[in-house]
Amino acid sequence: MKKHFKIAVLPGDGIGPEIIDAALKVLDVISKKYGITFEFEKALVGGAAIDAVGDPLPEETLKLCKESDAVLFGAVGGEKWDNLPTDKRPEKGLLRIRKELNLFANIRPAKAYDALLDASPLKQEIIKGVNLVVLRELTGDVYFGEPRGIEERNNERVGYNTMIYYEHEIKRIARLAFEIARGRRNKVTSVDKANVLEVSALWREVVNEVHNDYADVELEHMYVDNCAMQLIRRPRDFDVIVTGNIFGDIISDEAGALTGSLGMLPSASIGERYAFYEPIHGSAPDIAGKGIANPIATILSAAMMLELTCKLPEAARDIENAVEKVLEEGYRTADIWSVGTKRVNTQEMTEAIIKHL
Ligand code: IPM
Ligand code: MG
């Protein structure tokens, strides 16, 4: 079994560097405990890369990602770069990595921790026990569809994008959804807008075809607007939600908010060859450099890396259990703090987690 892993580390902007440092500390402990070694190499991305070399995804960074077993990513973006055209923005660095590494599947788990039930905006009886995964297609759809642009027609400006899915793109994400469901509660909800969009009608048809190979898994279809509503009314009923890029972008933020804090949510983006791990939250420029950011989402993203890239599910469970324990002990960063709990900073939270490893 492989025991040495080269990891491209892309801290990015805002709180990115702080939370990445926290995850690296945890991985250090894990590597000793489980007898594996990591070679971490840092590279520029996002606004930090725009400032340094004028490109949100420098050639060097992309090359490093392609030579590595996995990419560990912080966050990109910030007010400073908000007025650049979409093509030059920090976010473009992230979108280009997804496309270049063919990371077609974005796995975003959302889980309600018992110790954090009061952090959720929903009533405890609705949120308790929620444990779902949003599987978002990540390299297709209106995000990348051509033609796209802003131009002048009939003496006024018009902006347009193309919502498009090829059959093979739908097939591979549907397969993965059924595979993931088999390791969970065996249920897939495919989310689309088939009552209006042709691209969704095809999506639904292809998902049904793939389902023939997975008859043991329950499949339901849901319109995206209804899904947005059901996620709030009865979130416990969802197991695996599979959907396209833009619906997945929106639904996964909603699923994240259910559990109380975006600061808790990890993600993995995978393709046939590469893997990329990042917290769901953004760069939070308002608290950057203060050392108070919640490192848990990034630490749990590292746990996903241990499971999916390093094939060490026991190390992943180890980290997840440690996170659960520190929450039970009452440790909280500012974003999840409530009266009666112990407010800690990034470093203290990280050390508390490491104590349980
Ligand atoms: C996400 C983000 C990105 C997206 C942005 C930063 C381009 O919102 O990962 O969900 O829209 O995919
Ligand atoms: Mg998003």
The total number of structural domains that make up the chain: 2
Asked if 110 contacts 72 with a C-beta cutoff of 8 angstroms, the reply is: no
Q: In terms of Cα–Cα distance, which of 241, 148, 146 is closest to 190?
A: 241
Ligand 2 centre distance from Cα of residue 252 (Å): 7
Q: Judge whether 181 lies within some domain.
A: yes
| Ligand 1 contact, 180 CB (< 6 A) | no
- Tell me the CATH number at 138: 3.40.718.10
Mean pLDDT of 304-329: 97
**Does one domain contain both 152 and 135?**
yes
The active-site residue, picked from 34, 187, 223, 253, is 253
What is the predicted pLDDT for the residue at 1?
Answer: 85
Q: Judge whether 326 lies within some domain.
A: yes
What is the predicted pLDDT for the residue at 164?
Answer: 98
| Ligand 1 contact, 351 CB (< 6 A) | no
318 catalytic residue (yes or no): no
What is the predicted pLDDT for the residue at 187?
Answer: 98
- Look at the alpha carbons of 13, 14, 20, 23 in this order and tell me if their dihedral is positive or negative: negative
| Ligand 1 contact, 94 CB (< 6 A) | yes
The active-site residue, picked from 13, 193, 214, 277, is 193
Asked if 11 contacts 74 with a C-beta cutoff of 8 angstroms, the reply is: yes
Instruction: List, as one string, the DSSP characters of 285-309.
Output: GGGTTTT-S--HHHHHHHHHHHHHT
Mean pLDDT of 326-346: 95
Checking if the pLDDT of 261 tops 80, the result is no
What is the predicted pLDDT for the residue at 260?
Answer: 80
Average pLDDT score, the chain: 96
Last residue of a domain, one of 227, 260, 293: 260
**Does one domain contain both 188 and 291?**
no
φ, ψ for residue 259, nearest 5 deg: -85, 0
Last residue of a domain, one of 208, 233, 260: 260
114 catalytic residue (yes or no): no
Cα maximum dimension of the chain: 67
Peptide bond into 147 cis (omega under 30): yes
**Does one domain contain both 63 and 7?**
yes
Checking if the pLDDT of 93 tops 90, the result is no
**Does one domain contain both 176 and 256?**
yes
Q: pLDDT category, 277, cuts 50, 70, 90? A: very high
Range of the domain at 337: 1-104+271-357
The active-site residue, picked from 63, 225, 342, 355, is 225
pTM of the model: 0.93
Checking if the pLDDT of 6 tops 90, the result is yes
Q: pLDDT category, 259, cuts 50, 70, 90? A: confident
Checking if the pLDDT of 20 tops 80, the result is yes
What is the predicted pLDDT for the residue at 122?
Answer: 94
Q: Judge whether 266 lies within some domain.
A: no
What is the predicted pLDDT for the residue at 341?
Answer: 95
Instruction: List, as one string, the DSSP characters of 180-226.
Output: HHHTTTSEEEEEE-TTT-HHHHHHHHHHHHHHGGGTTSEEEEEEHHH
**Does one domain contain both 96 and 169?**
no
**Does one domain contain both 249 and 277?**
no
Checking if the pLDDT of 168 tops 80, the result is yes
Amino acid at 332: R
**Does one domain contain both 157 and 86?**
no
Contacts with 319 (C-beta within 8 Å, 6 or more apart), sequence order: 26, 30, 299, 300, 302, 303, 306, 353, 357
For residue 354 the two structure tokens come to 């490491």
What is the predicted pLDDT for the residue at 58?
Answer: 96
Q: Judge whether 343 lies within some domain.
A: yes
φ, ψ for residue 302, nearest 5 deg: -65, -35
Q: In terms of Cα–Cα distance, which of 73, 82, 80, 129 is closest to 106?
A: 73
* Angle (deg, nearest 10), helices 59-67 and 90-100: 40
223 catalytic residue (yes or no): no
Q: N- to C-terminal Cα distance for the chain?
A: 22
Q: Judge whether 265 lies within some domain.
A: no
**Does one domain contain both 242 and 132?**
yes
**Does one domain contain both 213 and 143?**
yes
Q: Judge whether 211 lies within some domain.
A: yes
Proximal ligand: closest to the CA of 136: 1
For residue 219 the two structure tokens come to 């499949």
Condensed to tens digits (0 to 9), the pLDDT of residues 110-130 reads 999 999 998 889 999 999 999
| Ligand 1 contact, 91 CB (< 6 A) | yes
Our mutation pick for probing the ligand 1 site, out of 95, 104, 108, counting the most ligand atoms within 8 A of Cβ, is 95
**Does one domain contain both 163 and 99?**
no
Checking if the pLDDT of 86 tops 90, the result is no
Q: Cβ of 29: how many Cβ atoms within 10 Å?
A: 16
| Ligand 1 contact, 254 CB (< 6 A) | no
Mean pLDDT of 80-97: 89
Checking if the pLDDT of 308 tops 80, the result is yes
Q: How far is CA 113 from CA 127, 186, 209, 261, in A?
A: 9, 21, 36, 11
**Does one domain contain both 89 and 11?**
yes
What is the predicted pLDDT for the residue at 262?
Answer: 81
**Does one domain contain both 221 and 328?**
no
Last residue of a domain, one of 228, 260, 292: 260
